Structure 1
Amino acid sequence: MSFDAITPAEIVAIKLSLRVATVAVLASLPVGVLVAYVLSRGTFKGKVVLDGLVHMPLVLPPVVTGYVLLILFGRRGPLGAFLEQTFGIVLSFRWTGAALAAAVMSFPLMVRAIRLAMDSIDRRSEEAAATLGASPLWVFVTVTLPLAWPGIVAGMMLAFAKALGEFGATITFVSNIPGETQTIPAAIYTYTQTPGGDAGALRLSLVAVAISLGALMASELMIRRSGQRGTRFE
């Protein structure tokens, strides 16, 4: 097996994977912060159900998640047809659909990290701000978010690493189209099905390992910082 330089097609797959993972994280971050806050601070009926729905992509086969996305966001699906007719947005078999699939699959990891960071915050800090006349929204913006920031960054890094390696839901929803939806995992799969593709699969695997390891290390550092910050007020 020869190990040659990265090919132009592989560079395209790497760039597309980074693009998909970045968009997936940034697009899901506001919802992730809101859901994490509701699960951390909320006391309402159905909280267990919401928590279960958030973590459902972790336990479902990725192919099932991708199929559900195809039914809902395909051109003939209720949401897909609405988006196409109203805004001209097509998700199925497009890189934007790959970003959606990656966002759905990585969302539970993001929410979990952010929720843990919010759980570690000393409530007295929020209560002190409230007694000084701050509204709940202002307390959230000026107290909760800054204290939970390391956990938010950690959640983003975890979600990025997960989105970068997402395969099952992505290939089911948007297929494996070179230059459009062929991310690193899909390109590796193609190489494994091609005679003599071992070198290409190894090259992309090493790239994926390097990027994912960097994201996980950054996430671990932020989680530790979040824990240290949470104990300062104890």
Structure 2
Amino acid sequence: MGENVPVRCPACRRQHSFTPPVFPCACGEPLAPPLLRGAAPERITHRTWTDAWVTVRCGSCGRQDQWPQPELGCACGAVLRIPVRPVPRSAPPAPTAGAPGSATATGRTPAPGRPAHIPLPPTAAPPRPKFRPMTIRTARDAVTAAALYLKWLGFRDIMQSPERPASGIDLRAPGLVAQVDPTTRPGSLRDVECLWLHGLSASAVSVFFSLAGYADDARARADSLGVPLFVMDLTGTPQPVNRPADELISTGA
């Protein structure tokens, strides 16, 4: 499991305890980006795909790959980029069988990693299986990741629009309309109000997913209208940023 570090939001000064998501290396070893302890997080106001990946080296096999940059969605609506320790130019060789600290020498095997998932609130019932996110590499991936999350919440027969629709509604299901904004700009007040109107006309729940967070007035309006807001990082793991989103996680579809 990745190391837990304190993170203070530069926008609202709220303190968080952040643990990066863990993914399996190609060799099977659980691996998480090593966080740069003590470094200030950066608020994401402009997102590019190249800036959203970091190089991580597996300490077991030495393999070096690109992994999603760790991000944290604050309750104030800000999306924070968590600094990662750069890969050193030279890394020590992987432990070999019989070497001190290896599984053969100690008789112990490393503790298994845990896949990243959204913890359910204590009041949620019945328990759901762990959510399995999908890595986001394209705008279309973001829509698919949101669909998987909504299915995990209990919505059925979810339909994806074949391309970016003029209405802004990317996902539909019985009792549901959802918008997924994969752009680098925060969700706006107009976006939230238009989504809410679509839900009102369809007698459906309106849910918003954004990669870049939300403007302050959009967040306030969503709270007053009861529109659940989620932010997604490139691991495809949505995080709730307002009370309606927390309630949706608790109750499900």
Same fold (TM over 0.5): no
With a CA cutoff of 8 Å and minimum separation of 6, indicate the structure with the bigger relative contact order.
1
TM-score after normalising by structure 2: 0.24
Provide TM-score, normalisation by structure 1: 0.25
- Higher helix proportion (structure 1 or 2): 1
Structure richer in strand, relative to its length: 2
